[in-house]
Structure 1
Amino acid sequence: MSWLQRLRIDKFLLVLVSVVILASLFPCRGVFKTLFEYLTTAAIALLFFMHGAKLSRDAIIGGMSHWRLHLVVFLSTFALFPLLGLAMKVFQPSLLSTPVYLGFLYLCALPATVQSAIAFTSVAGGNVAAAICSASASSILGVFLSPVLVGLLMKTQEGGGSNNTLHAIGSIILQLMVPFVVGHLARPLIGGWVNRHKKLINITDRSSILLVVYTAFSEAVVGGIWHQITGWSLVSILVYSLILLAIVLVINTWTARLLGFSTADEITIVFCGSKKSLANGIPMANVLFPAAAVGTMVLPLMIFHQVQLMVCAVLAQRYARKQASQREKSALGATPGE
């Protein structure tokens, strides 16, 4: 086992950090800036097209009968998180700078992850079918709901008039919603190819995110991001990410138990209701916010992403051990009567 695996550090996060360093040292300017902006727009459209094409309609419909579980996950993702984000206002600006606070507000409006939520649910011994449904539904709803939540939580077009607002809505529809819907409608035609080339699709997804991050941080560096974000800011993001995740995990766990869910369903609620999607969040920020602000807005998301992976990896193993121990006790208890 490598030291990265022992520390449970996501290798993709290290690549993201490398791209941020590259953008800080060699930001794109002039003609290259224009070229990268066009490439970024195309990459975002391709990313959301693939998101739509990957989602299985059968998996979504098959899990919809478990509506109580999905409602709890939905409320955690799109109600609990935003409320906690608003509550963080008490720490701003004394303990939490305004740019970092806005980044946390944006994080709280995002949908859940799909892959990691399902993976952790499976490792922990949870209800995987329900996890597939909940995570997929969150991803779908997030394309439409997250921009609305962002608009409610903050003024993305401060000082802007109706033309700016209409322009933002048009950009969201064209760059996010249309490719997503087209991709999902095209699934009957390309679904087989997508399923056979998951590794290639994954590389395409991650390459698109890296391109967006490089372009966003290039603009941010030119705009002076490292004069706004200090070492203390990075430490505060880490601390508040841990606190935010811990509160959500505790609330989801006790909610599942108070409502009488089984342990398998509790696991699904805990992992699907506590995740925030890096894959959706970074491209979406590029559409929603001014170019110079994107780098600052996604910093909390990048750090929270790693925190949620590390904490949930440990939690999943703990659930798995607990499940295995209970099965052993049940087997021992049943042996004398056989």
Structure 2
Amino acid sequence: MIGRVLRKMASDWFLAGMIAAVLLAAAFPTFGAAGGAMHADVVSNAGIFAVFFLHGLALSTRSLVAGLTKVKLHLLVQALTFVIFPLLYFPFRWAFGGIIPEGLMLGFLYLCALPSTISSSVAMTAIAKGNVPAAIFNATLSSLLGIVLTPAIIELIQAGGSTGGLSFGQAVVNIATLLLLPFVLGQVARPVLGNLASRYKKYINTFDKLVILILVYSSFCDSTASGLWRDNGLSVIAMTLAGAALFLAVALFVSSRVAGWMGFSEEDRITAIFCGSKKTLASGVPMARLLFGAHPALGLIVLPIMFYHQLQLFVCSIMAGRFADRFNKAAPSENAFAGMPAAETVPVRSA
């Protein structure tokens, strides 16, 4: 299994790009920092708007509506994402608050408050033979709820503390403007441009990832200029990796046990596991810039979601394959998605 993970890492240009972005920011922080020649604020905002317009363009509204009926499943997934996950932060902070730097601890809080990711949640659910329409509905609903709930959770838990960013009201308005508005515009334009988006989805996925790399670079430029690497060593990388792995392990365990305890079918349990344990990098990095503004530890704040993103892809892809194998052995002649139109799937993006 370790060899498989290492091979996947070696072939993942996006992971290599994130590492390169961090290294470039460490070597040339002035170019991408606030006030630098890159004009990072303008470039970032334009990229974020374009990415979420394309998200709205790519997502089938009919697929979203098809998942509406599983109310109990929806409540569980959203509770895992916005209630259970944030509650996990408290024992984590109690256990490790004395050794983890303040900026990194804020990053773990931010990780806990983030919504689920759309594309990889749906992709993993499909591979594992889960309830795909319900996964589409839950992942999309999570992203929309996160526009309000993510800043609200951080504001509530950080009461009396400082995030170095905007007020709750300003954060919601900015996030809605740069994330929700283009998503809605994409949905409105879908009848006209939807087929074109499907035809060029490979290039759209690449553009999506490139925008994230730009945001990672500019975030680390600001943090490098503020002394991120001067004041923190390799121990920060080790703590981030260990913390992200711990959160993922607990999230997978809790989502699996609770879904089983609630008596869900295997298909719905798979959906709960993959949608309830995921956190979005695609929305997470842009939202961090809007929530935390010019926080000197912005690079540290986005570090947990960067590590968590890669871990969730590696671990969940292995789990999805094992779920699929179980279905194939139990009913080799059955197709779990017979009759489901191919057009109702969404483009697979790693974020």
Q: TM-score range by the shorter chain?
A: 0.7 to 0.9
Q: Which has the larger radius of gyration?
A: 1
Distance in 1 (CA, whole Å) between partners of 2:146 and 2:168 is 19
Aligned to 1:21: 23
Counterpart selection for 1:77 from 69, 74, 81: 81
Secondary structure at 2:310 match in 1: helix
Aligned mates of 2:126, 2:278 — CA distance in 1: 15
**CA distance in 1: counterparts of 2:215 and 2:60, whole angstroms:** 26
1:109 aligns with 2:113: yes
Normalised to the residue count of structure 2, the TM-score between the two structures is 0.85
Equivalence for 1:277:
280
Question: What displacement does 1:157 show?
Answer: 8.1
Is there any run of 5+ residues in structure 2 with no aligned partner, and where? Answer: 335-351
Q: Does 1:172 align with 2:141?
A: no
User: What's the secondary structure of 2:30's corresponding residue?
Assistant: coil
Give SS of 1:260's match. Answer: coil
Distance 1:248 1:101, change over 3 A: same
Offset at residue 117 of structure 1 (A): 1.1
- Quote the Cα distance in structure 2 between the aligned partners of 1:212 and 1:137: 24
| 1:11 counterpart residue number | 13
Partner residue in 2 for 1:90: 94
Q: Is the 8 A contact 2:147 2:176 kept in 1?
A: no
Among candidates 254, 257, 261, match of residue 258 of structure 1: 261
The offset of 1:91, in angstroms, is: 2.5
Structure 2 CA distance for aligned equivalents of residues 160 and 308 of structure 1: 28
Q: Which amino acid aligns with 1:49?
A: F
CA RMSD of aligned residues (A): 2.7
| Larger relative helix fraction | 1
Q: Tell me: CA distance 1:170–1:131, structure 2 relative to 1, closer, same or farther (3 Å).
A: closer
Partner of 1:210: 213
Aligned twin of 2:249: 246
- Residues 1:199 and 1:167: Cα distance change in structure 2 (over 3 Å): same
Code of the residue aligned with 2:17 in structure 1: it is V
1:192 counterpart residue number: 195
Residue-by-residue CA offset, 1:264-297 (whole Å, 9 max, x unaligned): 1111111111100100100110111133332111
Distance of 1:74 and 1:126 partners within structure 2: 17
Once the two structures are TM-superposed, the CA of residue 7 in structure 1 deviates from its matched residue by: 5.5
Q: Does 1:297 align with 2:301?
A: yes
Question: What letter corresponds to residue 14 of structure 1 in structure 2?
Answer: A
**Counterpart of 1:179 in structure 2: which amino acid?**
P
Structure 2 residue corresponding to 1:201, chosen from 196, 204, 212: 204
| Structure 1 letter corresponding to 2:57 | A
Work out whether residues 102 and 297 of structure 1, in 8 Å CA contact, stay in contact via their aligned partners in 2: yes
Q: Matches of 2:211 and 2:52 in 1, distance apart?
A: 10
> How far is the alpha carbon of 1:244 from its aligned partner?
1.1
Partners of 2:168 and 2:8 lie apart in 1 by: 47
The question of whether the paired residues in 2 share the 8 Å contact of 1:77 and 1:274 is answered with yes
Mark the CA change 1:13 to 1:101 in structure 2 (over 3 Å): closer, same or farther.
Answer: same
Identical amino acids, percent of aligned pairs: 38
CA contact (8 A) 2:163 2:292 kept: no
Alpha-carbon deviation of 1:218?
Answer: 0.8
* Number of residue pairs the alignment of both structures matches: 329
Range moving further from structure 2, 60-69 or 23-32? 23-32
Q: TM-score, normalised by structure 1?
A: 0.88
Separation (CA, whole Å) in 1 of partners of 2:73 and 2:146: 18
- Matched with 1:334 is none
**Code of the aligned partner of 2:60:** S
Task: For 1:33 and 1:147, locate their aligned partners in 2 and report how far apart those are by CA, in whole Å.
Answer: 30
Kindly indicate whether residue 50 of structure 2 is the aligned counterpart of residue 49 of structure 1: no
Q: CA deviation at 1:259?
A: 1.1
One-letter amino acid of the structure 2 residue matched with residue 144 of structure 1: V
Unmatched runs of 5 consecutive residues or more in structure 1: 331-338
Deviations 1:294-316 (Å, cap 9, x if unpaired)?
Answer: 21110010011111111112212
Equivalent-residue separation in structure 2 for 1:170 and 1:133 (angstroms): 24
Change (3 A) 1:308 1:160: closer
